[in-house]
């Protein structure tokens, strides 16, 4: 398998850190970033490495040579002048295999690349982009995906204040089919994200791979300091999907947002005070934050799937403005009782996902390699508490929303907090963080 690394970047904004070396050669721990990437790729079975170089390329070639030291075969392709990410690929077309992984050399990455590759192969897309939530979505280009994982649109920044989008940021890692080279005219300065991917999205041939792993650009001295400290503390490796991580499962209505009966309109989505800050603390402690929510309003015909998507996009936008994110969201659109005007008959059945059943939790565990040991569930009703018990994770009740008033003596939560803030206080005090 082939990995192509875009290593032509200049570290203009990195000042003294990259004056005499190309940006991908900046050290993280004891190795240049590019060496981390090559070793990561090699561990996942990529032994053919193509480096697209320009600025100070001799520094790269003298360090890596033919790659023998790293267990890979390295070739180089130099562009002068720089052609942008798509232009550089076109320029290197003679050296590209039919399918290749692309990494940006100025991003620190710890990701299960083999799983990403397999996901792409199964999808028949022309390209698969890794997307992830970050703590500054308003300042990032965002992608929107449909229920099948196809990217339906890309929204570059800046965007209007009232445009609500999911917190799905292009992470700078993609698997690409050679076929797309036909879309790139030779000799032009063209950018994959700006000039090529939007057209693929319009044709339905671009897919997203959602990840909660570590991807961070180190383009400013501040960010570089961050990445270095995350690497030294072991955080970058801990977030890798190859390690099971504990999760905090959150109910939605009455826990994150104010409970209005039958919420069906984005205007009704309002965060409970302190919810964003609490979720941010869970993010920073290394927990997966996973929302599991019953939304029978869909089966009742009161809220379309499009409206629900917009409601969740608004929630993610509001959280993102306070630097908080959720890693995944599962909803149950079903309801068991038939016979009401306006209902959606095909969603009216006794499903396996409606809490207190555990279908959404089970799916999340499979999707995200969740460690149930050390995981929690925060909810405001008996269904949440019972589901948590069935999963063998710690239920924490809150007094917001339905306030767990429907819990009888047998179904009491382990803890009852005033609100999500109190619940997170309890979680962090009893476990410190998800780092164990």
**Candidate segments 194-202, 218-226, 376-384, 388-396, binder of Mg ion by CB under 5 A:** 376-384
CA torsion sign for 370, 373, 378, 384 is positive
Which positions from 326 to 355 touch Zn ion by CB under 5 A, shown as an x/- string?
------x-x----------------x-xx-
Question: Residue 332 or 423: which CB sits closer to Zn ion?
Answer: 332
Q: Distance (Å, rounded) from C-alpha 138 to C-alpha 135?
A: 9
Interface residue with Mg ion, options 144, 251, 316, 419 (CB under 5 A): 251
Q: Name the residue nearer to Mg ion (CB basis): 232 or 406.
A: 406
285 or 299: whose CB is closer to Mg ion?
299
Which of 84, 105, 254, 266 binds Mg ion (CB under 5 A)? It is: 254
Does position 397 bind Mg ion by CB under 5 A? no
Closest alpha carbon to 219 in 423, 22, 429, 2: 22
Integer angstrom CA distances of residue 176 from 86, 124, 173, 270, 387: 11, 11, 10, 39, 40
CA 159 vs. chain centroid, Å, equals 20
Give the whole-angstrom CA distance, residue 192 versus residue 181.
11
253 binding partner (options Mg ion, Zn ion, none; Cβ < 5 to 8 Å by kind): Mg ion
Name the one range near Mg ion by CB under 5 A: 57-65, 137-145, 187-195, 248-256.
248-256
Q: Which single residue is written with the structure tokens 């104010």?
A: 258
The answer to whether residue 299 forms part of the interface with Zn ion (CB under 5 A) is no
Query: Which residues have C-beta within 8 Å of that of residue 58, sequence separation ≥ 6?
Result: none
Cα 357 to Cα 363: distance, rounded to the nearest angstrom: 12
Query: In terms of CB distance, is 254 or 320 closer to Mg ion?
Result: 254
Q: Is 251 labeled as catalytic in the residue annotation?
A: yes
> Pick the catalytic residue: 106, 251, 327, 411?
251
In the list Zn ion, Mg ion, none, the entry touching 354 (Cβ below 5 to 8 angstroms by class) is: Zn ion
- Verify binding: residue 419, Mg ion, rule CB under 5 A: no
Say which residues have a Cβ less than 8 Å from residue 158's Cβ, sequence separation at least 6: none
Active site residue 362: no
Which residue among 106, 110, 112, 253 is the active-site one? 253
Q: Does 364 bind Zn ion (CB under 5 A)?
A: no
The dihedral sign for the CA sequence 395, 396, 400, 405: positive
Residue 251 binding partner per list Zn ion, Mg ion, none, with a CB distance cut-off of 5 to 8 Å that depends on partner kind:
Mg ion
Of 316, 343, 380, 419, the residue at the interface with Mg ion (CB under 5 A) is 380
Closest CA to 214 of 222, 204, 223, 205: 223
By the criterion CB under 5 A, which residues form the site for Zn ion?
332, 334, 351, 353-354
Catalytic center residues: 251, 253
């Amino acid at each position: 398998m082939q990995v192509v690394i875009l290593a032509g970047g200049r570290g203009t904004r990195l000042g003294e850190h990259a004056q005499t070396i190309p940006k991908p050669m900046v050290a993280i721990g004891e190795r240049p970033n590019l060496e981390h990437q090559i070793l990561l790729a090699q561990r996942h079975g990529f032994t053919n490495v193509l480096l697209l170089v320009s600025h100070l390329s001799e520094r790269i070639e003298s360090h890596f040579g033919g790659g023998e030291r790293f267990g890979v075969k390295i070739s180089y392709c130099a562009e002068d002048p720089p052609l942008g990410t798509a232009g550089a690929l076109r320029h290197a077309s003679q050296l590209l295999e039919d399918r290749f992984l692309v990494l940006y050399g100025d991003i620190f990455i710890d990701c299960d690349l083999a799983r990403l590759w397999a996901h792409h192969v199964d999808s028949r897309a022309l390209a698969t982009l890794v997307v992830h939530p970050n703590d500054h979505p308003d300042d990032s280009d965002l992608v929107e995906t449909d229920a099948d994982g196809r990217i339906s649109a890309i929204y570059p920044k800046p965007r209007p204040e009232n445009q609500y989008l999911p917190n799905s940021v292009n992470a700078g890692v993609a698997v690409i089919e050679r076929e797309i080279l036909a879309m790139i005219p030779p000799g032009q300065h063209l950018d994959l994200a700006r000039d090529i991917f939007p057209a693929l999205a319009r044709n339905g041939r671009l897919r997203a791979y959602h990840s909660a792993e570590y991807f961070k650009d180190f383009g400013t001295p501040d960010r570089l300091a961050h990445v270095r400290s995350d690497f030294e503390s072991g955080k970058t490796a801990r977030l890798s999907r190859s390690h099971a991580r504990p999760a905090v499962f959150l109910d939605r209505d009455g826990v994150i947002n104010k409970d209005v009966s039958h919420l069906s309109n984005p205007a009704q989505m309002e965060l409970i005070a302190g919810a964003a800050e609490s979720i941010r603390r869970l993010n920073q402690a290394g927990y997966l934050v996973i929302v599991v929510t019953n939304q029978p309003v869909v089966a009742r015909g009161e809220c379309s799937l499009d409206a629900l998507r917009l409601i969740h996009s608004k929630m993610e936008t509001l959280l993102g403005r306070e630097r908080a994110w959720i890693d995944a969201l599962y909803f149950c659109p079903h309801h068991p009782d038939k016979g009401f005007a306006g209902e959606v008959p095909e969603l009216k059945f006794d499903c396996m996902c409606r809490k207190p059943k555990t279908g959404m939790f089970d799916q999340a565990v499979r999707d995200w390699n969740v460690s149930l040991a050390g995981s929690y569930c925060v909810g405001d009703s008996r269904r949440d508490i019972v589901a948590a018990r069935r999963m063998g994770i710690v239920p924490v009740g809150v007094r917001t929303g339905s306030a767990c008033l429907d819990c009888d003596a047998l179904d009491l939560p382990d803890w009852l907090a005033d609100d999500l803030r109190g619940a997170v206080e309890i979680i962090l005090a009893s476990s410190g963080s998800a780092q164990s």
